[in-house]
Amino acid sequence: MTLLGFLAERRGEILALTGQHLILVLVSTGIAAAVGLPAGIAMARRPRLARPLLGAAGLLQTIPSLALFGFLIPLPFVGGIGARTAIVALVLYALLPILRNTYTGILQVDPAVVEAATGLGMTRSERLRMVELPLALPVILAGLRIAAVVSVGTATIAAAVGAGGLGTYVFRGIATVDTRLILAGAIPAAALALLTDALLAAVEKSRRPARAAGLLAAGAALVAALAFAATGPSRHGAVVVGSKNFTEQVLLGEIVSAVLEDRGFRVDRRLNLGGTKVCHEAVVSGQLDAYVEYTGTALTDILKRPVRSDPSEVLREVQAAYGPLGLRVGAPLGFNNTFALVMRRGEAGRRGVARISDLAPHAALLRVGLFGEFLERKDGMAGLVQAYGFRFGLRPREMDLGLLYQALAAGQVDMVVGSATDGLIAALDLVVLQDDRRYFPPYDAVPVMSEAGLTRHPGLAAALDSLAGRIDEASMRRMNYAVDGEHRAPADVAREFLARAGLSGTRP
């Protein structure tokens, strides 16, 4: 399908996402202006305030957005999953240009003009209102323009906390390596940025910028109200299902959602959230009712406990530790997304390698490809070498996850370190070596539910239990490949899987 055809087909959803995007930008820029303008004026009045305030605003800009979300999500009133957290973050990012331009705009007003105004008998507030602000207006508007345009771009990160907007497509596209999806998010976002820039530039250049700015603000408020109305009622009473931002997680989110919908629940999908920490904080604070986690990730990344290798012990430990957090861990779904040493089938056969310990005689000259993280992790290369007692003679080649399998298929490496459920394992006819010494910790997929959500939604646990043991590695690989390799929609793939597995009820 061509890009244009794709955009046309999705125009309804694109419009809705654009509306959400617009709301995020307008509301956050409005709040940033409401805070930044008075603060900038105060700074111009008391220059001693300027340095610490500008410093603080500058510092906020340097905080990576995901880290900022990590801080914000657990906070009451400003945090959580959804638009509120995204708006708070966008406001913090938009403050600096507004503050700085208001401050410098007022300071750069000709002192002779200010003295003349004083000499004519203006009070401080009259001088501010009638002289300093009007003369600083072009600079202040330039600051607002920067803030708004940058916000249009930055608002794409809102998708990482489930706030919607065009970032939803960008993140989904990146996760599923689907360029059309990325473009379907990026092109409207770029158009929105250009439009915002042009509108504010027109205000700056207009003969009466104060009036034009007022008109634009009124128009923006109207658009925000319309867009807000158009996005429809909020999903009160729905089960909120989350997922992290990669293909398998999105698929699992869709599967869980579909199973719930089959049982009559209404579901609010907050998929593609920005990583483990975001999902965990969200389910702990009750913003999510459920998402799928991996036992090994829960043990080491979330609970910060040492690596263990027995799957049932790990599960029990995680279950015990999650209880006090107000979380319940459901039964494993059936597959273990652990690290996998992967070879071409023919090559493995020729060398007579089926288990990792079979590698010992080949290790000296084996060309290994891996992603850098594996060299650093506690459950990575160092432990592997120790557990199996051989070391690789050649220096492993580090490359991007997406490129590993291409390199393996092209014969540029003999073996790669991937994940057990990577879709390309099935598609490229590769084999996963058996971890015969059970070195790799288990990463069993398990639903994590909040106790509050379970109370609110009776039957939720039972619904998720119906998935217990039903998704094996091969199925997961096939589904991952259907999305990554065949560019099919995750929701369709999930439905198809459920139907084929006999898990689907009333709906196709």
Partner 1 sequence: MGGTDSAAAVELSDVRKRYPTGAVALDGVSLRVEEGRVLVLLGTSGSGKTTALKTVNRLVDPDAGRVTVLGRDVTEWDPIELRRGIGYVIQEAGLLPHMAVAQNVALVPRLLGWPEERMRARARDLLTLVGLEPDRFAPLFPSQLSGGERQRVGLARALAADPPLLLMDEPFGALDPLTRRRLQDEFRDLQARLGKSVVLVTHDVPEALRLADEVAVMDRGRVVQRGTPREIRDAPQAGFVRDFVAAALP
Nearest distance in Å: CB 128, partner 1: 13
Contact flag: residue 194 with partner 1 (CB under 8 A): no
Contact flag: residue 113 with partner 1 (CB under 8 A): yes
Tokens at 464, concatenated: 């998720």
Q: 355: which DSSP letter?
A: B
Q: Which span (109-117, 164-172, 372-380, 416-424) binds partner 1, by CB under 8 A?
A: 109-117
Tell me, by CB under 8 A, how many residues bind partner 1: 16
Q: Which is nearer to partner 1, 122 or 303 (CB)?
A: 122
Q: Which span (113-121, 197-205, 306-314, 453-461) binds partner 1, by CB under 8 A?
A: 113-121
Nearest distance in Å: CB 121, partner 1: 3
**Helices 209-230 & 133-154 angle (0-180, nearest 10):** 30
Contact flag: residue 211 with partner 1 (CB under 8 A): no
CA separation for the pair 493, 194 (Å, rounded): 36
Tokens at 131, concatenated: 């002289």
Q: Which is nearer to partner 1, 114 or 461 (CB)?
A: 114
Nearest to 220 by CA among 501, 84, 370, 31: 31
Q: Which is nearer to partner 1, 125 or 506 (CB)?
A: 125
CA separation for the pair 13, 16 (Å, rounded): 5
CA separation for the pair 26, 109 (Å, rounded): 29
DSSP 208-268: SHHHHHHHHHHHHHHHHHHHHHHT----TT-EEEEEESSHHHHHHHHHHHHHHHHTT--EE
Which residues from 115-134 bind partner 1, rule CB under 8 A? 115-123, 126, 130-131, 134
Which residues from 226-265 bind partner 1, rule CB under 8 A? none
Q: Which is nearer to partner 1, 134 or 459 (CB)?
A: 134
Q: Which is nearer to partner 1, 130 or 364 (CB)?
A: 130
Q: Which is nearer to partner 1, 110 or 486 (CB)?
A: 110
CA separation for the pair 141, 302 (Å, rounded): 44
Share of the chain residues as helix, strand and coil, in percent rounded to the nearest 5: 65, 10, 25
Contact flag: residue 385 with partner 1 (CB under 8 A): no
CA separation for the pair 215, 394 (Å, rounded): 67
**Contact residue for partner 1 among 12, 62, 77, 112 (CB under 8 A):** 112
CA separation for the pair 435, 384 (Å, rounded): 10
Q: Which is nearer to partner 1, 137 or 461 (CB)?
A: 137
CA separation for the pair 474, 132 (Å, rounded): 69
Contact flag: residue 111 with partner 1 (CB under 8 A): no
Contact flag: residue 436 with partner 1 (CB under 8 A): no
CA separation for the pair 506, 97 (Å, rounded): 54
Pairing of strands 290-294, 445-450: antiparallel
Q: Which is nearer to partner 1, 113 or 230 (CB)?
A: 113
CA separation for the pair 507, 265 (Å, rounded): 13
Coil, helix or strand for 19?
helix
Nearest distance in Å: CB 22, partner 1: 32
Classify residue 428 by burial, with Cβ atoms within 10 Å: 0-12, 13-18, 19+: middle
Q: Which is nearer to partner 1, 119 or 508 (CB)?
A: 119
Contact flag: residue 48 with partner 1 (CB under 8 A): no
Contact flag: residue 501 with partner 1 (CB under 8 A): no
Contact flag: residue 106 with partner 1 (CB under 8 A): no
Nearest distance in Å: CB 106, partner 1: 14
CA separation for the pair 427, 84 (Å, rounded): 41
Nearest to 340 by CA among 405, 257, 432: 432
Q: Which is nearer to partner 1, 122 or 503 (CB)?
A: 122
Which residues from 133-162 bind partner 1, rule CB under 8 A? 134-135
Nearest distance in Å: CB 134, partner 1: 5
Q: Which is nearer to partner 1, 113 or 382 (CB)?
A: 113
Which residues from 457-476 bind partner 1, rule CB under 8 A? none
Nearest to 362 by CA among 418, 440, 436, 433: 433
Contact flag: residue 2 with partner 1 (CB under 8 A): no
Nearest distance in Å: CB 115, partner 1: 6
Residues in Cβ contact with 5 at an 8 Å cutoff, skipping those fewer than 6 apart: none
Q: 155: which DSSP letter?
A: G
Give the footprint of partner 1 on this chain (CB under 8 A): 112-113, 115-123, 126, 130-131, 134-135
